[in-house]
Amino acid sequence: MQLTRAADYAVRVMIHLASQPEGAVVSKSMLAKAAEAPESFLSKILQTLARAGLIQAWRGVEGGFSLLPRGAQASLLDVVESIDGPIALNVCLNANACNREADCAAHQVWLRAQTAMLSVLREAKIAEMAQAVKACGKARNIARITAGGKQESEASSRQVGLAAKTKCKAGPRSAPSGAVRAAGKKQK
């Protein structure tokens, strides 16, 4: 089983939106850059996330997308299923009962594997992943400063330690400049 590219981009978008200040509206082009996704493909994904009640679409020159409270509390499973529908590790685990279930030695293994996978995805919260991204970004900035010969503070050491625990791997990313406050904007 492999997640679709659309589900992967949706997760990236949700984590990016969750890492923005509350109420921030981010343009589609900024989200495309953050998710490293083609803007035209991302349009459908953003519409689907909005229909699922995870994000809000805003019209106008300063329009874009913002995270809704339900999206802020969403799990990785919520996001993936909003794009791909219910996840089944094997066709026999779909909503329709398998006619071989009673005689199949693999059925219980597939069921245990799917239960474990869904549990992991359900426990992984978008907001927590966004916090890890923020911590990684701070740690990278601190590492650049301290590498330049400046003294590192105790708080900086804690941030680097936190980043190491969250296993920061990607290179530094700049914060988008296209985020604006949502107050006073008309809904789509």
Q: What is the chain's mean pLDDT, rounded? A: 78
**What is the rounded distance in angstroms from the CA atom of residue 126 to the CA atom of residue 80?**
11
Q: What is the mean pLDDT of residues 73-93?
A: 91
Per-residue model confidence (pLDDT) at position 95:
67
Question: Looking at 48-62, 84-98, 117-131, which range is the least confident one?
Answer: 84-98
Q: How far is CA 118 from its chain centroid?
A: 16
Per-residue model confidence (pLDDT) at position 142:
47
Per-residue model confidence (pLDDT) at position 26:
95
Q: What is the mean pLDDT of residues 108-134?
A: 92
Q: How far are the Cα atoms of 81, 89, 109, 154 from residue 93, in angstroms, in the given order?
A: 15, 7, 11, 51
pLDDT at 108 over 90: no
Per-residue model confidence (pLDDT) at position 167:
56
pLDDT at 182 over 60: no
Q: Give CA angle at 23 (122, 10), nearest 5°.
A: 40
pLDDT at 151 over 80: no
pLDDT at 161 over 60: no
Containing 24, the helix (H) or strand (E) segment is strand 24-25
pLDDT at 137 over 90: no
Range with the largest mean pLDDT of 76-85, 97-106, 134-143, 179-188: 76-85
Per-residue model confidence (pLDDT) at position 97:
67
Question: Looking at 24-28, 76-80, 92-96, which range is the least confident one?
Answer: 92-96
Per-residue model confidence (pLDDT) at position 2:
81
Considering the domain delimited by 5-181, tell me its CATH architecture: Orthogonal Bundle (1.10)
